[in-house]
């Protein structure tokens, strides 16, 4: 649970402080006023990752060079002063030497947004990001394998583009890429085996129907990764980039045995996407012993009343949930499930 959040020069906030209720809160306000940025700040504080952008540059207020986030949690005060070349990461006042050590004892997070439908409808990139965000919180080796793979991939792609490339050097990085890629694939496959029953259970709870949702890992090619990379070397040189590997892998999502993107209704697709996020929550609770903080960004307007109620009831009772919304009409005069605040002019006021 995060009890206090402070921001400095983060997005649209020059200075901001909020005492957060233990059970969470609903943040009410018009679009483009900074609601999502508050959830994003919590996510970055705990995971050093924004679900909205891959780069930290846009997180800084206009005209500023750095930003700060401070959060109080049980037994921890986490603080980030993020500068382009030298981020200062501290826990309880003690500096952490790198991102890996900063994240070692952080709290798990589940992010739910109104674009989660892309998990079913869009290309493979959204599904890989889903796996990597979860995997990096699930297993300490996952983040290292992912980082090592991406670093080897970047170098190999650079060598592929170089006209006077060194074949021995290229082979050395091909071996590194295969080594880390194979490890990453194994971790993803193990993670998916643990995750699949959680997705199926969440779908039954939200959908309320006896439909079978299944999810399977699909590699971009079969066989030994190093051998496949060697076999496609000429093509990789021609394109100037690596065509095979975990960065091209995908998830196959089916409903009652049929491709969910092609044959499921939009309501079924939304239920599938929500189930995938709720499955993250239950798996992380099971694997880490900590109930994740739930960051829920403006999703209720997209759900019909039945799924909306089922979704709210499926949130863990002991979870802290921070929910953004532009209105409360979706409650249909039901009691507000959490303390509500209105965001105006960069400040929160209780309703």
Domain spans in the chain, listed from the N-terminal domain onward: 1-107+290-351
Q: Is 29 annotated as a binding residue?
A: yes
Cα separation, 279 vs 251, in Å, equals 15
Q: Residue 305: what pLDDT?
A: 82
Report the distance separating Cα 198 and Cα 275, nearest Å: 8
Q: What is the mean pLDDT of residues 69-94?
A: 94
CA distance 257 to 144: 35
- Residue 241 to residue 172: CA distance in whole angstroms: 16
208 known ligand binder: no
pLDDT tens digits along 264-303: 999 899 999 999 999 999 999 999 999 999 999 988 877 8
218 in a known ligand binding site: no
Sequence-distant (≥ 6) Cβ neighbours of residue 280 within 8 angstroms: 110, 134, 195, 292
Spatial contact of 110 and 315, defined as CB atoms under 8 Å apart: no
Share of the chain above pLDDT 90, in %: 75
The pLDDT mean for the chain works out to 92
Q: Which fold has domain 1-107+290-351?
A: Rossmann fold (3.40.50)
Q: Which of 302, 241, 245, 292 is nearest to 270 (CA)?
A: 302
71 is in an annotated binding site: no
pLDDT of 84 > 90? The answer is: no
Q: Summarize pLDDT for 112-145 with one digit per residue, the tens.
A: 998 899 999 999 999 999 999 999 999 989 999 9
- What's the pTM value of the predicted model, to 2 decimals? 0.92
What value does the mean pLDDT take over residues 58-73? 90
In the predicted structure, residue 165 carries a pLDDT above the cut 90: no
| pLDDT tops 90 at residue 351 | no
- Residue 231, annotated as binding a ligand: no
31 is in an annotated binding site: yes
């Amino acid at each position: 649970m995060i009890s206090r959040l402070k921001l400095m020069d983060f997005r649209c906030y020059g200075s901001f402080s909020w005492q957060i209720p233990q059970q969470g809160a609903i943040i009410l306000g018009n679009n483009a006023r900074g609601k999502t940025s508050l959830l994003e700040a919590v996510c970055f504080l705990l995971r050093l990752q924004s679900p909205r952008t891959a780069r930290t540059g846009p997180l800084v207020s206009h005209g500023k060079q750095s930003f700060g986030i401070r959060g109080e949690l049980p037994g921890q005060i986490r603080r980030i002063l993020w500068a382009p070349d030298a981020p200062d990461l501290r826990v309880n006042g003690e500096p952490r030497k790198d991102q890996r050590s900063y994240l070692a004892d952080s709290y798990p997070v589940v992010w739910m947004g109104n674009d989660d439908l892309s998990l079913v409808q869009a290309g493979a990139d959204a599904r890989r990001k889903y796996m990597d965000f979860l995997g990096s919180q699930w297993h300490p080796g996952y983040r290292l394998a992912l980082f090592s793979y991406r670093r080897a991939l970047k170098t190999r792609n650079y060598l592929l583009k170089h006209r006077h490339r060194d074949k021995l050097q290229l082979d050395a990085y091909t071996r590194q890429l295969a080594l880390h890629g194979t490890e990453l694939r194994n971790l993803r496959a193990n993670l998916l085996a643990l995750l699949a029953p959680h997705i199926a259970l969440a779908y039954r709870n939200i959908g309320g129907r006896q439909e079978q949702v299944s999810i399977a890992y699909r590699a971009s090619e079969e066989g030994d990764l190093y051998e496949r990379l060697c076999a496609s070397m000429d093509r990789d040189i021609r394109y100037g980039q690596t065509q095979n590997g975990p960065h091209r892998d995908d998830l196959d999502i089916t409903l009652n045995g049929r491709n969910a993107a092609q044959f499921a209704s939009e309501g079924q697709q939304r239920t599938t996407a929500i189930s995938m996020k709720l499955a993250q929550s239950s798996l992380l609770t099971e694997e880490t012993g900590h109930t994740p903080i739930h960051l829920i960004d403006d999703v209720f307007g997209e759900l019909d009343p039945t799924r909306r109620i089922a979704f709210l009831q499926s949130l863990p009772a002991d979870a802290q949930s921070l929910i953004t919304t532009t209105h409360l009409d979706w409650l249909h005069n039901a009691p507000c499930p959490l303390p509500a605040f209105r965001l105006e002019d960069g400040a929160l006021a209780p309703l």
